[in-house]
Amino acid sequence: MIMRTNQHAVGSQQRLADRLGELTRTVNQVIADIESDLASPGDAAFHAKDAYRALCSAHNALLDSARTAAANHYGQMARDAQVAA
């Protein structure tokens, strides 16, 4: 049961990281659109860039968490296999 829970956590974190990565790419495109539109307010790109930096930080945190969870999961599998052998 613990293995299944860990495996679910790894998959869940990776899915969240993937979704946040997509959102980050979308916000980056919105920034480019704002910057290319001469009629857009000057501070719009500034605020969008703040949001982009925050999304990048959250994306990196989720990626790190998913990697750590995967390493812990497979490390536990290896320990369990040693005990069973």
pLDDT of 76 > 80? The answer is: yes
Query: Mean per-residue pLDDT for 64-85?
Result: 88
Say whether pLDDT at 71 is over 60: yes
- Is pLDDT above 50 for 75? yes
**Domain range annotation of the chain:** 2-84
CA proximity to 3, closest of 74, 65, 51, 57: 74
* The two three-digit tokens of residue 48, written as one number: 């969008």
H/E/C letters for each residue in 17-66? HHHHHHHHHHHHHHHHHHHHCCCCCHHHHHHHHHHHHHHHHHHHHHHHHH
- pLDDT given for residue 1 in this prediction: 46
In the block, tokens 């959250």 appear at 58
Give pLDDT tens digits for 3-62: 455 566 667 888 888 898 899 999 999 999 998 988 888 788 888 899 889 999 988 988
